[in-house]
């Protein structure tokens, strides 16, 4: 149980284009989803927290207009990197907490984004 999937697992795009990453909770309802960014050989950096049906809460220094987060249902959250640039290349990981059990986060497998 408590499986989180991400799609795509990797994506290559041209500079200036937008990329959408999906995060799904497969066997539970996720009231809260989190988006992290991880640089090579570094820890995870929380970008934003999203609750179903409401606006995401962004961490300091994260551009909300560049990283658009939508959490339209209890099983799906999306992260759209708008007007991507090479410096946006990174490993993006989402996680989700189950309704009624918010103490543990279950992580997706991650999405490798490469911007050329």
Partner 1 sequence: AQSVTQPDIHITVSEGASLELRCNYSYGATPYLFWYVQSPGQGLQLLLKYFSGDTLVQGIKGFEAEFKRSQSSFNLRKPSVHWSDAAEYFCASTDSWGKFQFGAGTQVVVTP
Which of 11, 13, 26, 44 binds partner 1 (CB under 8 A)? It is: 44
CA distance 48 to 64: 9
Nearer to partner 1, 79 or 108 (CB): 108
19 in contact with partner 1 (CB under 8 A): no
Interacting residues with partner 1 between 80 and 99 (CB under 8 A): 91, 93, 95, 97
49 in contact with partner 1 (CB under 8 A): yes
Do 21 and 8 contact (CB within 8 A), yes or no? yes
Which of 19, 30, 34, 81 binds partner 1 (CB under 8 A)? It is: 34
Nearer to partner 1, 18 or 42 (CB): 42
Question: How many of the other CB atoms lie within 10 Å of CB of 35?
Answer: 28
Residues 6+ apart with CB under 8 A from 59: 45, 46, 47, 48
50 in contact with partner 1 (CB under 8 A): no
Greatest extent of the chain over all pairs of C-alpha atoms, in Å: 42
Nearer to partner 1, 20 or 112 (CB): 112
CA distance 8 to 21: 6
Nearer to partner 1, 80 or 105 (CB): 105
């Amino acid at each position: 149980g408590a499986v989180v999937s991400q799609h795509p697992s990797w994506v290559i795009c041209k500079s200036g284009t937008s990329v959408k990453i999906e995060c799904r909770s497969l066997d539970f309802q996720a009231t809260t989803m989190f988006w992290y960014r991880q640089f090579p050989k570094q820890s995870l950096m929380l970008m934003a927290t999203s609750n179903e049906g409401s606006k995401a809460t962004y961490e300091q220094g994260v551009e909300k207009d560049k990283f658009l987060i939508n959490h339209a249902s209890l099983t799906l959250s999306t992260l759209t990197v708008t007007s991507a640039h090479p410096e946006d290349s990174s490993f993006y990981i989402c996680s989700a907490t189950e309704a009624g059990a918010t103490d543990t986060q279950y992580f997706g497998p991650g999405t490798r984004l490469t911007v050329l």
